Chain A
């Protein structure tokens, strides 16, 4: 069945290693989400190589998205793209595709903040309305909640992101991603066999966190060879997740919100989920975890946030559609939150 007669938004996500296209109807139905991920042999992300990957597969991903959504390009009413924060070359590739598509279809272009988009798709898919959000991924570690017109940041990392911390440790230990199993998932698996808790730095400063000292200490212990890898993974996870949970609980106590939303690539970790579930219950808040598909970087979240933004007039003239590498979440206008 060919569908149209509805309004649709196409969203392009390209902040880091994923190039993803999502198509949503204005009433929030997710028609499709197609992602192609750049994988480097040595692990990690090289921004330029990732951008080249994105440029190469733009056409394929777009074609597949239209086919799966079963609509035609002319049915699209808005084109949204991740404008930042992220890696420059990757962002520019997505932005170029979005500009071309918007001008060809002659529809409004909307620049979306990647972080706000993660929160919005989390709310859409879990039914959360006004949560304290813990967003944990390879590039971000943020505790946020809506207050006075903005998604305020109640805590974040002072140095490296949590996903990066786990990933670098895993790579130092010689772990390599397997099919369908990123390094962090292998660390989680190893941690489940750990028995001995090794003392590692626990660094919470106010509501902010620091992971670099802990990473160095864990890596040093690893190279000394006196501790088992399982015990180190176990201790690393227990430490960093306790820190994240402590900071999230403080934001929850401070804001007195009634929902906790966990999202981002690291959200898939079962141990982190169980810790957050515990504090949510203690504060009588509902715990929502975003499904893996929409917790990872995805185009659907960009499309959905693009719809919300466009309906509030936040369109972007092409000549002003520069990417914003360090666009902070608390600088984003979210007029759709005011009711």
Chain B
């Protein structure tokens, strides 16, 4: 059953050997040249499970990979029961929201500490389970990198996600994320990453209200 038709991949909820699983299929894109299309799809299909597996080792929950089919660009993974952070964030109290975002910051910090860049940090790619665990999904655009630039862009995307989908709480949410982030990454690196974000924002014609 098709659960989500994304631009990059489609998600299907399936039964697989008696298990409820999520099947991520990267269907060919007609607009791209077939050679380029195959290159992108197979690269992401191999790369994504590697990132997800490594993330677990850093203490960031991700769905368990059950099978990979590079030729067809399919990934079969564990189905995570829960709700997207996107759906519940606005309904929380300020304190709950702060705590949740703080925890998200800790998780991002763990990834960055171990050279993992998620690549698409949005609140729809974080699932809150009934046990209160936050599971990160969709590493399709992720990469292994310890560069400041990559970390800066990653956090910058998180900030942008808050601004575009949770604009009423964007500031408090992102600040709470940073509080969590600094706990695991440390003052020095956080300051460097923040400096990088400012640079990125200046570069891409971003300028925040405060700095104007």
Contacts and interface: CB of A to CB of B under 8 A. Distances in A.
Interface of A: 85, 140, 147-148, 152-154, 156-159, 197, 199, 202, 204-206, 208, 238-239, 242, 245-247, 249-250, 252-253, 274-276, 278-279, 282, 326, 328, 330-331
Contacts, number: 83
Interface string B164-190: 100100000000000000000000000
A250 B6 contact: yes
Given A158-B200, A197-B33, A252 B205 contact: no
Interface string B153-165: 1000100110110
Given A152-B164, A253-B5, A206 B36 contact: no
9 contacts: A159-B203, A159-B204, A197-B33, A242-B32, A245-B31, A245-B32, A276-B31, A278-B30, A331-B209
A208 B205 contact: no
Given A206-B141, A239-B36, A249 B160 contact: no
A310 B30 CA distance: 44
B122 interface: yes
Contacts of A238: 32-33, 36
Interface of B: 5-8, 29-33, 35-36, 39-40, 119-122, 141, 153, 157, 160-161, 163-164, 167, 200, 203-207, 209
Contacts of A247: 7
A202 B153 contact: no
Contacts of A245: 31-32
B167 A205 contact: no
Contact of A148 (B31, B40, B120, B167): B167
B164 A206 contact: no
Given A274-B31, A328-B207, A330-B163, 15 more contacts: A85-B205, A147-B164, A159-B204, A197-B35, A199-B39, A202-B39, A205-B153, A206-B157, A208-B160, A239-B36, A246-B7, A247-B7, A253-B7, A279-B7, A326-B206
Given A158-B203, A326-B205, A328-B206, A208 B153 contact: yes
B36 A253 contact: no
A328 B120 contact: no
Contacts of B31: 242, 245, 274-276, 278-279
B127 to A, nearest CB: 18
Contacts of A253: 5-7
B163 to A, nearest CB: 8
A252 B122 CA distance: 16
A157 B204 contact: yes
The 3 lowest CB-CB distance pairs between A and B, nearest first, are A250-B7, A249-B7, A275-B31
A34 B177 CA distance: 50
Nearest to B142: A205
Contacts of B33: 197, 238, 242
A154 B30 contact: no
Contact of A252 (B7, B39, B167, B207): B7
A328 B32 CA distance: 31
A158 B204 contact: yes
A205 B157 contact: yes
Nearest to A254: B7
Nearest to B118: A206
A213 to B, nearest CB: 11
